[in-house]
Amino acid sequence: MRTSEKPAVNTAGLSGPASRKLPVPPRERKPALAALAVLLILGGALATTLLVLRSGDRISAIRITQQIGAGQQFTADAIEEVQIADTGIAFVSWSQRQQVLDSFAAVTLLPGTLLTSEMGVKASAELGPGKAKVGLALKPGQMPVGLKPGDRVQVVYVPGRSSQTESRVLAQSALVFGVGERGRTGGTGQITVIVETQVSPVILQYASSGEVAVAELPGAR
């Protein structure tokens, strides 16, 4: 009786995918990277907490409520106290308002500006020696609508129709120091400008005869 024998399987000649798999090295742990990630997470959480806490800190500051021209003195009507978040910027505190009222604007300040120490100076070149305040009573058409303190204007000689002389500029860039209200009938408007002392007599002479007009200089601040 013959016993059937199964042929031996030759595993050396396998060429399938299983025979081409490379051994996978054990995964290497990196504790340093894990620790760094934890530190970054904790640092971000701490920074967020500090920002939230600091946003609740309020400080007193001074806000400008009216336009103040460069060289013009601060007035009580032009400043107000506000409470703002402490951002680290050195705003002038409301407790220093008296020093502010004794100083002058270094640049033209617009309403809503928060005051810093660099915006004020102790002495004004506009109100110092060699300058004069001149009051002008102007009719409609001799001054622009909406003129306000701190604006810059040209003061122009405008001769009457019967005169043979030509108009000319008397002051190239005069600071408007004050503006009065017009009458209910739209009559004379009172303004005060600061000019050089050598031209103030001429301006007053022509202003007395109604031969002076002012033109606003929006780009000159």
pLDDT at 133 over 70: yes
Interval 166-194: pLDDT, tens: 889 999 999 898 888 654 445 568 899 99
The pLDDT, as a whole number, for residue 2 is 52
Say which range, 3-7, 89-93, 178-182, has the weakest mean pLDDT. 3-7
What integer pLDDT is reported at residue 95 of this predicted model? 93
pLDDT band at residue 145 under the 50/70/90 scheme: confident
Contact between 139 and 205 (Cβ < 8 Å): no
Residue 40 or 24, more confident: 40
Q: Is 136 within 8 Å of 191 (Cβ atoms)?
A: yes
Task: Tell me the H-state helices in the chain.
Answer: 31-55, 97-101, 200-208
191, with CB counted inside 10 A (0-12, 13-18, 19+), is buried
Our separate counts of H helices and E strands in the chain read 3, 9
0.75 surpassed by pTM: no
- Give pLDDT, residue 96: 93
